[in-house]
Amino acid sequence: MSEERQRAALVTGASSGIGREIARRLCDEGRVVYGIGRNFERPEEKELLENPLFHPVVCDLLDTAGLLDTVRRIRAEVKITALISNAGSAYYGVHEMLTNEQIEEIVRLDLEVPMLLTKQFLPEFKKSGGTFIYIASVTAQNLANPHGAAYGAAKTGLLSFARSILEEGRKCGVQVTAVLPDMTRTDLYRNADFEAEPDAAAGASLAPSEVADAVMYVLSRPAGVVVPEIVLQPQLRRIAKKPHSPYGSRL
Ligand SMILES: NC(=O)c1ccc[n+]([C@@H]2O[C@H](COP(=O)([O-])OP(=O)(O)OC[C@H]3O[C@@H](n4cnc5c(N)ncnc54)[C@H](OP(=O)(O)O)[C@@H]3O)[C@@H](O)[C@H]2O)c1
């Protein structure tokens, strides 16, 4: 494989929300981005898709064989020097209300997939440098997450994993950051019976661009500086019950 390969960032969950904003910002700064998602046909995606630096990669992250094959193909084309593990899903409610499939999806997407992808890139990052950024959640800081037990546990696991990979990789020049955002205005809460106070001006939630700012800050640090964790919270904590929730009212 040629060492002349172009340098690029790989962003999972680049088709929506926080990941799309991270991909957009990276491209705006002239970086080549490979973005993984299943559906790049949302109208909001149009501008990013028109950017020649952005390469959409349709892949179901939960299909491990397909994912590993996709990674092999990407690495044959470019040299990935930053992996932003962002894709995630969340289901909320008292734990017994979650289906087995929802629990599996949370654990696999929010924890297993970042571990598998990290393993793919770790040897090269240890050899020639690279940055792992994990989009965890502010829930990872809590000792308990009632109404979000599985999600909170997966994100706590992801934070622990990020800390371990930092300790393992830092002596070889690997940079690792966990970003822990609080409520951010994306589609993540489509399965929840609550949402951030809908009035954005109230300062009760973050914009995806604010999480992307943190990622850009990390990637602009000079070699030799590691930012282990960034916690981002809105000024206010105001959660509103959705008027018509499929799950009823459980807050
Ligand atoms: N929004 C928040 O308040 C908040 C707070 C803290 C942490 N986070 C974390 O931020 C990350 C991004 O979430 P978001 O808020 O931006 O939510 P989002 O808008 O729902 O985006 C989720 C992304 O993950 C991708 N994805 C989900 N399942 C996938 C699969 N099986 N294969 C491939 N891609 C898949 C989605 O792509 P497709 O739809 O194309 O499949 C989408 O691009 C998540 O890890 C989330 O836990 C969010």
Question: Which residue among 89, 112, 231 has the greatest number of ligand 1 atoms within 8 angstroms of its CB, and so is best to mutate?
Answer: 89
Question: Is 70's C-beta closer than 6 angstroms to any atom of ligand 1?
Answer: no
What separation in Å is there between the alpha carbon of 110 and the centre of ligand 1? 9
pLDDT of residue 250: 39
Q: What's residue 27's pLDDT?
A: 97
Domain residue spans of the chain? 3-185+207-237
Residue ranges of E strands in the chain: 6-12, 32-37, 54-58, 78-85, 130-135, 174-181, 194-196, 229-232, 239-241
Q: How far is the C-alpha of 121 from the C-alpha of 113, rounded, in Å?
A: 13
As its CATH architecture, domain 3-185+207-237 has 3-Layer(aba) Sandwich (3.40)
pLDDT score, position 200: 63
Report pLDDT for 193.
78
Rounded distance from Cα 37 to ligand 1 centre (Å): 9
Task: Please work out whether the CB of residue 205 comes within 6 Å of at least one atom of ligand 1.
Answer: no
- Low-confidence stretches of the chain (pLDDT < 70) are 1-4, 198-202, 243-251
Give me the pLDDT at residue 191, please: 77
pLDDT tens readout for residues 110-158: 999 999 999 999 999 999 999 999 999 999 999 899 999 999 999 999 9
- pLDDT value for 239: 78
| Alpha-carbon span 106 to 193, nearest angstrom | 17
